[in-house]
Amino acid sequence: MSDQNGAGQTRPTALPIVINAQYVKDFSFENPNAPQTLLPGQPAPQVSVGVDVRSQQVGETLYEVVLEMRCEAKIGENTAFLVELSYAGLFTVTGLAEEHIKPVLLIEAPRLLFPFARAIVADATRDGGYPPLMINPIDFTDLYRRQAAGQQPTNATA
């Protein structure tokens, strides 16, 4: 985004979204069947990943956006690990029409939070004795459309 100043030069304009803070709101890692699930010769676990996004207004132009992730790995009927993460950010949104605020909060804000949440999940699974779980990029536009249509949060199998 840019505009022209009086000399005909372009200069960047302020983006409508600013990240004020990022933080872990809630985090859990469970390894309920260790050490059995970590023994050599175990088959690769089947991993399912669920993602949800929610937001709330906490000030005139200040919003909290929470990216919730639930990752469960199973070997047969046994749970290998379970990771639940609520990773949040405080965002200031200015200069947007009212109808554009919600899409920005539920698409762009989680897109900015995702790499950090992904790293936390990868570190937790690695520290739990498993290969790091590298969650594929998420289409937050599709997730927003599903939420708007009243469907369940996105679930994927890795």
CA angle 89, 123, 126 (to 5 degrees): 155
pTM of structure: 0.83
Task: Find all residues with CB under 8 Å of 32, minimum gap 6, and list them.
Answer: 79, 82
Q: What is the dihedral of CA 102, 105, 107, 110, to 10 degrees?
A: -160
pLDDT tier at 55 (50, 70, 90 boundaries)?
A: very high
Best-predicted range by mean pLDDT among 28-32, 145-149, 152-156?
A: 28-32
pLDDT of residue 103: 92
Residue of 109, 107, 106 whose CA lies nearest to 92: 109
Domains contained in the chain, CATH given: 2-37+45-157 (3.10.420.10)
